[in-house]
Structure 1
Amino acid sequence: MVEHEPAGFWIRLGATLLDGLIIGLPLALLGMMITGMPSEDEHLSDFLSFLYGLLTPILWGGYTVGKRICGIRITKTDGDPPGLGTMLMRNIVAGIVYGLTLGIGIIVSAIMVGVREDKRSLHDFIAGTEVIRD
């Protein structure tokens, strides 16, 4: 198995912010154009954002647009690209855990990425993934 450098907190945050600006904002605008109402587009844009976060890493070898720009990607711990089951665990199951802990899990995850040597968060452990630099 080839060792890769784990991606730390700031690069992961940067990739997430880029995804929000490049993908999330246009999806929100598209939702507003389709529904005609800013308050009613939330469900549509949330659903499209969910699909983007779930399917893009599967179809693009672990990358999202933001991750590609930042030179990082999601892999399974064995180095394989993530599949549907992996991404469902990473997004849905981890989302449920974060919701049940009232957001405390998100804070714990951020601290884990910041201080752990392997830079893995709770959702990485749940799904058996890691985020690595290319």
Structure 2
Amino acid sequence: MQKLAGFWVRLAARIIDYLLVVGVVYAILSLFRLDTQSSAVQASELITMIIYYVAVPVLWFGYTMGKRLFGIRIIRDDGEKLNFKDMFIREFFAALIYGASLGLVAIISSFMVIMRKDKKAIHDIIVKTSVTYGKPEDE
């Protein structure tokens, strides 16, 4: 069994990912002097976030830039390759649930990663994923 990633390393990777995405979006907004109040610009920001958090791990063996920096990645519990459906559910519905609860469920989920032996957050349980250290065999 692979070594499971705990709360702090997962949080650090998420912060790096967030800063990277926000930095890219900000650079594009500044470069093209785009109106941040525009619905099209806001939709583009959302699409950029979805592409990064959903597509990048699917296409890059479970890594995002932040996860790669810390040597952790998302894997499916059944050993199969990550797919777009699972990653979309993992990211989108987690954000929806966490937002709808005004962050309360996110706090509970964080404590789950800290206290559970399997270090699973709510979104990991829903889609049957884990965050582990180590490289995939096919990388």
* TM-score, length-scaled by structure 2: 0.84
Residue aligned with 1:132, SS: strand
Q: Which residue number in structure 1 is paired with residue 137 of structure 2?
A: none
Q: How far does residue 88 in structure 1 lie from its aligned partner after superposition? A: 1.6
Q: Which residue number in structure 1 is paired with residue 87 of structure 2?
A: 87
Candidates 32, 45, 52, aligned match of 1:34: 32
After superposition, the Cα gap between the structure-2 partners of 1:8 and 1:48, relative to the gap in structure 1 and judged at 3 Å, is same
Q: Which residue number in structure 2 is paired with residue 106 of structure 1?
A: 106
Q: Which residue number in structure 2 is paired with residue 70 of structure 1?
A: 70
Q: How far does residue 106 in structure 1 lie from its aligned partner after superposition? A: 0.5
Question: Which amino acid in the other structure matches residue 66 of structure 2?
Answer: G
Preserved contact between residue 53 and residue 64 of structure 1 (Cα < 8 Å):
yes
After superposition, the Cα gap between the structure-2 partners of 1:21 and 1:94, relative to the gap in structure 1 and judged at 3 Å, is closer
Unaligned runs of 5+ in 2: 135-139
Q: Which residue number in structure 1 is paired with residue 48 of structure 2?
A: 48
Q: How far does residue 35 in structure 1 lie from its aligned partner after superposition? A: 5.0
Candidates 20, 23, 27, aligned match of 1:22: 20
Q: Which residue number in structure 2 is paired with residue 120 of structure 1?
A: 120
After superposition, the Cα gap between the structure-2 partners of 1:43 and 1:32, relative to the gap in structure 1 and judged at 3 Å, is farther
Preserved contact between residue 74 and residue 81 of structure 1 (Cα < 8 Å):
no
Instruction: Tell me whether 30-39 or 98-107 shows the greater mean CA deviation.
Output: 30-39
Instruction: Tell me whether 122-131 or 27-36 shows the greater mean CA deviation.
Output: 27-36
Residue aligned with 2:118, SS: coil
* TM-score, length-scaled by structure 1: 0.87
Question: Which amino acid in the other structure matches residue 113 of structure 1?
Answer: V
Identity among equivalent positions (%) equals 33
Residue aligned with 1:80, SS: coil
Preserved contact between residue 28 and residue 45 of structure 1 (Cα < 8 Å):
no
Superposition CA RMSD, Å: 1.7
Aligned residues, how many? 132
Question: Which amino acid in the other structure matches residue 10 of structure 1?
Answer: W
After superposition, the Cα gap between the structure-2 partners of 1:108 and 1:30, relative to the gap in structure 1 and judged at 3 Å, is same
Cα displacement string for residues 64-90 of structure 1 (whole angstroms, at most 9, x for unaligned residues): 011111100000112233101111210
